[in-house]
Amino acid sequence: MLPEIERFRKWLKRKAPYASTHLHYTNDLELFFSWVRKPPNAVKVQDIDLFIEHCHQNGHAITTTNRRLAALRSFYHFLALESEAAPRNPVIPKRHFIHIGQQLPRDIQDPSVEKLFAVITGPRDRAMFLLMLRCGLRVGEVRNLSLNDLYLDPAFGSLPRLWLHGKGGGQRVAYLSAQPLAALRVWLDIRPQTTDEAVFLNRFGKRLSVTAIQKRLGVYCHQAGIWVTCHQLRHTFGRHLTEARMPVTTIQKLLGHARLRTTEIYLHISDSQVQEDYEAAITEICQALPLEGRLP
């Protein structure tokens, strides 16, 4: 690893110790510099152009390419903070970042959810993935969860809850319904005693990594014959709340969205009023113009 990247990694971790940005950005930078084969001070704007073409040719998602560009831009910004003689930032937002239209969240259909949880029988893993499905936790929030973040026996009139270290170092509260609460208690009863305060431990008694949690889900997906991601479990939580007609501002708080616009996207994938209006209208249209005839 280049010494500049290592200093950048430590800087990011100091800024946001609970975030996983330092891990992702470090991986992105190592990938870029192993491809470009130049030191940081020799990278030009044209190298970034070629890197974007390389990512496209290899079928990388636009969001992945944009994240790598963000990592590079942030890296050169860090170098400028370190020294006035730092190289010019070769990433130009108006030239390099790729515009993406509004993307609807990809949730999981309920039959697939049932298939998945039918094979997740281990207490630790069942608790982890129920926290994503029933409480909307991000995979990083599950990973960061510590014992002193649990409020499982609150005062009368209050719900059991979790104190989360969320995206970007922010904090939020997640409430526990009966199902994830029961699963969490089952795991805590058999959780190994260790000096590590993490709620979810690996076989060595240490905090699970995000990659390890994602790999566990992959194992269960293979067993169930489906393919889903951790974030799709969170999206499914958002859909379920929308279908239950919960106010969008409440959903925003439960999901920890900074902007209401982010939460409103869920209305597009499960808008019961739009569905009812469509069904009524298309029934009337088909009655007026039945287009009857035999299928070939």
Q: How far is it, in rounded angstroms, from Cα 146 to Cα 113?
A: 27
pLDDT in tens, the chain (296 residues): 899 999 999 999 888 887 778 888 999 999 999 999 999 999 999 999 999 999 999 988 888 899 999 999 999 999 999 998 999 999 999 999 888 766 666 788 899 999 999 999 999 999 999 999 999 999 989 999 999 999 998 888 888 999 987 666 677 889 999 999 999 999 999 999 999 999 999 999 999 998 899 999 999 999 999 999 998 998 898 888 888 888 888 888 888 877 777 777 766 666 666 667 777 877 877 887 777 655 55
| List of domains in the chain | 3-96 (1.10.150.130), 110-269 (1.10.443.10)
Q: Which amino acid is at 202?
A: N
DSSP structure class, residue 194 = -
What DSSP assignment string belongs to 137-185?
Answer: --HHHHHH-BGGGEE-S--TT---EEEEE-GGG-EEEEE--HHHHHHHH
Tokens 């958002």 belong to which residue?
238
Check residue 201 and report its DSSP letter: B
